[in-house]
Amino acid sequence: MTSFTKGVIPSTEKFDGSSLRVLIVHTRWNYEIVEALVRGATETMTSEYNVKAENISIQSVSGSYELPFAAQSLIKASKMGTQWFNVVICIGVLIKGSTMHFEYIAEAVSQGIMRVSLDSGVPVVFGVLTCLNDEQALERAGLGDRESKHNHGIDWGRCAVEMGVKNCKWMSGII
């Protein structure tokens, strides 16, 4: 069977995040896992892309279902001032229970985050884990015991810088 690199490979382009203003909206559900994801994203942005810590705004909401509304409201609020957010990362952890609640929230949140991004013109990174069990969530936050663990917050931080820098250029007519 042909092998391939599973997951995203970092762009070969070097991005300077020193002028980016980033918003992270995270949930308080499954907080220990969310906290690791937020740390992965912030540490990656500051250490690999020179994003200034003071330019990363962090807000929390109760659960993933609240993420799209909070992102929309905070983008609007930032546009009323001079400090617009160049990019937003929505971070949450959905873990399947015994009812269909998981499916309904996951669908609503993914559609909602996409809509906020397209409607606002601000890139919004989908940083919501949709897991069938606790182990899947722990592994994807770089926690747990498996060798295959990887903190997806790192990928979301890299994606955020790329989209923030590229969108700034595109909005200036630089293609």
Taking CB under 6 A as the rule, does residue 130 contact ligand LW54GNZ2? no
Task: For 70-109, give one letter per residue: b (16+ CB within 10 A) or e.
Answer: bbbebbeebeeeeeebbbbbbbbbbbbeeeeebeebbeeb
What is the distance between the alpha carbons of residues 152 and 4, in angstroms, rounded to a whole number? 19
Taking CB under 6 A as the rule, does residue 113 contact ligand LW54GNZ2? no
Among 99, 147, 174, 175, binds ligand LTPLIIQW (CB under 6 A): 99
**Residue closer to ligand LTPLIIQW (CB basis): 34 or 122:** 34
**Residue closer to ligand LTPLIIQW (CB basis): 19 or 133:** 133
Q: What are phi and psi of 57, to 5 degrees?
A: -95, 135
Taking CB under 6 A as the rule, does residue 64 contact ligand LW54GNZ2? yes
Q: What are phi and psi of 60, to 5 degrees?
A: -120, 150
Provide the binding-site residues for ligand LW54GNZ2, judged by CB under 6 A. 27, 29-30, 62-66, 92-95, 105
